[in-house]
Structures are given as structure tokens and as C-alpha cells.
Structure 1
């Protein structure tokens, strides 16, 4: 008798293996990113009936700091977070594929390097303590300090990494010499377009030396640069001269 051929049984279309529900792996949902406003800033609003609102109210009533009047709290925040020069620098890693990491250092305004040995650098982390402190302190980091940059690439990248809402809060910057050259040639946007709240622009003291015309004196070159910046940015913007990345204060000041 000839051997029978093995006949494959056709599976029903759409049939799936039965899985025992008890064998399923329970996966936790990944917590999503915190909600943000359209300008990129965190949206810390919560509903009145939520547990987070209960915690916020409890903090405002029981915390000795948050119980203070708003005027006193604001003075404390300004003292702790304002009056600094924040020096942004690009740090190149060993791997050339990685973009330079942006680091920052701080020092009181109108001071020179090195700072005193006992100087305690601020961490600017008050806004991470609770929702109320985030609302009250996070804008002050940008509005009360001057940002400086060691080169044009660092400044471009720092601007690119900021949310629109953060850029609107910036009031004072010290601009690298190369960035100012590109700015005058039209290869960089106006500062009022990048920083709508800008009030002060620091120009490298070497810019008038290297950008003056053949027949110009140094003072005439400074005056021309001042007029151009005022014309582009507005008469309300204050222009000062600074000494390179280290920001040595200059006696020359134009308002």
C-alpha cells in the first residue's frame, strides 16, 4: 500500500492564537512630557478639584517663605536670582560627531575674572521646587541677568535651544565680535526680532577698531555703530561696550 502524503490543513483566515489573559505583561504607561503653552513655557495650571491644587494651596498656607507678602517674596527672588552675568560657553566632547555641549558660569555684574575664592555661584533651581515658585521665579533668570557668549556658534545654538517664551524674557546680552560683524552685514536678524524684550546690547570694544573706515577716528566709528544699532533696534535700547568673552567692564558707555 503506497504511503499517504501528508496533507497540510489550511488555517482559517483571520484566526489568531488564543492567549491566556493571565499571562499578559502589564506595562506602565510612560508619563508624557509636561503640558506647555504655545510659546514653549510650561503650563502649570491645574483644575481646582485636583490633588495638585490641594498641595499648592497647602504650600501657600504652611510654607514660611510662601506665606510672606508678594512684595517681600519678589525682593527675595530678585536678590537670589538677579544681578549676574551668565557666561555661556560651548564645550567640545571627544567625539567629533557630538555637538558641543553648552556650559555656563556666573559672576556678579561689573566684576572681572577670577572672582573671589569664597564666591558662591547660584544654581538657578528655585523654579523647580513647586508650581508657585516656578511661576514667580522662572522669568527672573532671563529678565534680571546679562547673557554673554564666547563665540558666534555658541550664541546661535543657545538661541536655537531656547523656547520662544524664554527669548521674549531676555533683556540684556553681550554679543561676540564675530556675531556683531555678521549682524552688521545682514546675516543675523535684528536683536529685537530674536529678543522682543531686549533693553541692553553689549558690543565688543574691539568692534569699532576693526570696522572703522580709513578716514574715521575711533570715536567716529563708535558713534556710527551706536547710531546704526539705535536705528535698527530702537532708541530705547541701551548700548554698552564690553571686553570680549570675559566681559571686563568698560568706562565707555552710551545711552
Structure 2
């Protein structure tokens, strides 16, 4: 008796019919599926390109070359989604907004993600060598400074930097963009500072290439992002106040690329902040 009532229950039949209708409507929504597929594909290709470059399936240049296209695909998906929503609204087919809405969210989120990188590119100079001491940057000994380090420094056509060589232009751009990155003083002897630097570097997962507490020198390599870019770091500590304090300088250099998107400056700031606790800028 109960089974017969459930089988013929109008409410149950109505719910099933509504659900079936919605699924059928979604299946018949090519615009929605197209938008969602394009948005998801853009995200997958973006991160897949970076990951593939990071594990050596292709070069980092090839990985980066795919990224602008992913932004274009996401933008196309967003435009199609907006047009589709407007058309479906006129035709009162609100059920189909689900796929279009989801595709819109994915597209907007991804475009916003890319836009943050674009804003960084536009707001910071295209340099990749950051240091606390522009006049006398710490030098690498175990690691090798890239051969093209002073190539492609912007500003050659800038009237304000006319007559400057690449290193002078680099120093000018560096000072304007990162005036806060300067030598720091720490109230600890040189050897203790370098030992602490070594521990902090290892905690960050950096590969320590050379450490010499007595001479106040440490070199390490940091690996970042899905691309697994490598940035080389050198830390120099010099005795001050009869050896009771130290003046610390740091340098972080990207091995490849022209623009570091501010990554090296961020690394220097964070490391020196952790190293000194309360950082005191050296005069």
C-alpha cells in the first residue's frame, strides 16, 4: 500500500521531473559547457606549462610562452559567458546560468590572478639582481654570477640616465624601486650571525653551497614556483664595534630571466627580518 502511494506521489514525481529537466537543460547548454571548458583549460595549461618546465619536460622559455595564450583564452571565455548570460536572461532560461556562472567565476578568478602579475611587471623595474649594498655588493665565490647579469638593463634610452653604463642604470633603478633594502646591523658577532643564517637558509629549503662563519660568508640557492626557478643568494657579515656587532649585507640574483617580479627583494626583506628579529638599518 505504502509502495503504491510513493510510486504515485505527485510531489515525488514532480521533484524527479524537475531534476531531470534541469539535467537535460544543462546537457543542452553548449555555451555554458564551452565557457566552462575554455576557462578550465586555460587554468590547466597555465599551471601545466609551469609544472612541465619545472620538471624539465621543456625549457622555461617554452613554459612562459604559453602563458599569454591562456590569458587570451580565459578572456574569450569571459566574453562568451557575459553574452550568453545576457541572451539567456532575455529568453528567461535561468537554469542555464549555472554553467555560464561557474565559467564566469573561473575566468574572472584566473584573469585576476594574471592581472596581479601584470601589475607587478608594470610597477617594478626589469631587474633581477637585488642587494643591500649597491656600491659594493657581496660577491659569489662558490656560485657563479650569471654571465649576462648586466645585459638588458633598461634605461639606455632614458634621458635621465643618458651616459650611464648598465651597472649604473641598475643601481639607479634599484634605488628608486627598493630604497628600503639596505645593510643592517645585528648585535651579534660575525660567526654567530653566519651560523644563524645557515640555519635559516636550511629551514627555507635552500641548498647551501658555501658557509664560512670565520670570514662571514654564506652562499645558497633558493628554488621557487612551479617553474622551479633558481635564485642564488650570498650573505656577507662584517665585524663592527670591536666584534660585538655585525654589519650584514645580502644579495639575491635570479639565474634566468630579466624581470624577477620583486621575488628577490621580497626574499632579502624576509630573510634579514628573520635574521635580526628587530632590524636596525646600518648608517
Fold match (TM-score > 0.5):
no
TM-score (norm 1): 0.26
Structure possessing the higher relative contact order (Cα contacts under 8 Å, 6 or more residues apart): 2
TM-score (norm 2): 0.24
Q: Which has the higher helix share?
A: 2
